[in-house]
Amino acid sequence: MKLPAKAHVAVVDGETFSLFRNEGQIFDPSLAVEDSPELDPTNFSAGIRHQDDIGQRHGRTDLNELAHGAAAAEWLNEKAIAGKLHDVLVIADPKTLGEMRQHYHTELKKRLVGEIDKTLTNRSTGEIEKAIAAA
């Protein structure tokens, strides 16, 4: 995958949000850790379509995790609208990524350079760089 120099990389799951910046070249990413944002996952209407009784009983749906994904998208939206993010790659597990997509603002959509639907939180920076290069 092409990752522009200075692009931001958001690595998200239902509990974690890590932010990186590409200090490398377009086909050879080198990620530098940025300050991770503090999120306030208050959007519990997130995942409303997942509130079926069976999913809840079997633990397939965690509204706290979905609210975290919505909060991550809202944070990215705010920064994109303010012009503080220009190129953004989002890496998230499939359920979180699906929830985030429901909350993308048009300004964020314009700045997305890609998405990777993998769980890469708590992985080393080198592993994340390899996943980006291979995508």
Read off the CATH number of the domain in which 122 is found.
3.30.420
Q: What percent of the chain has pLDDT over 70?
A: 82
pLDDT computed for residue 25 by the predictor: 92
99 CB-contact burial (10 Å; exposed 0-12 / middle 13-18 / buried 19+): buried
Q: What is the pLDDT of residue 64?
A: 73
The residue ranking higher by pLDDT, 46 or 134, is 134
Residue 115 scores a pLDDT above 80: yes
Give the residues across from 121 on adjacent strands: none
Determine, yes or no, domain membership for 3. no
For residue 68, the model assigns a pLDDT of 85
- 1 within some domain: no
86 inside domain: yes
Name the most confidently modeled range: 54-58, 94-98, 128-132: 128-132
Quick: pLDDT tens for 61-87. Answer: 567 788 888 999 999 999 999 999 999
**Residue 47: Cβ-neighbour burial (10 angstroms; 0-12, 13-18, 19+):** buried
User: For the whole model, what pTM was predicted?
Assistant: 0.85
Q: Measuring CA to CA, which residue among 45, 131, 50 is closest to residue 90? A: 131
Q: Closest Cα partner for 13 from 89, 87, 94?
A: 94
User: Are the beta carbons of 116 and 127 closer than 8 angstroms?
Assistant: no
| 123 domain-assigned | yes
Q: Which domain holds residue 57?
A: 8-134
Provide the domain count of the chain.
Answer: 1
At 36, the pLDDT band (50, 70, 90 cuts) reads confident
Average pLDDT over residues 16-35: 94
**Model confidence at 54, in pLDDT bands (50, 70, 90)?**
low
Is residue 73 one of the residues assigned to a domain?
A: yes
